[in-house]
Amino acid sequence: MASLKRVLATLTASLGLAAASLSLASPAHADTWHCNKNAGPGGRSHVCIRSVPDGYDAQVWVTSEMSGHTVDFTLTCANGHWFGDAGSFPVIAFKEYSYVFQVGSQGACQVLLYDSTLGQTWASPWISR
Distance CA 69, CA 118 (A): 8
- The answer, yes or no, to whether residue 3 has pLDDT greater than 80, is no
Q: Which of 58, 32, 60, 33 is nearest to 46 (CA)?
A: 60
Distance CA 25, CA 32 (A): 18
Confidence band (pLDDT; 50, 70, 90) for 22? Answer: very low
Q: If you ran DSSP here, which 8-state letter would residue 113 be given?
A: E
Residue-level pLDDT at 1: 46
Question: Which has the minimum average pLDDT: 21-30, 34-43, 48-57, 73-82?
Answer: 21-30
| Percentage with pLDDT > 70 across the chain | 78
Rounded average pLDDT over 35-39: 97
Rounded average pLDDT over 54-79: 97
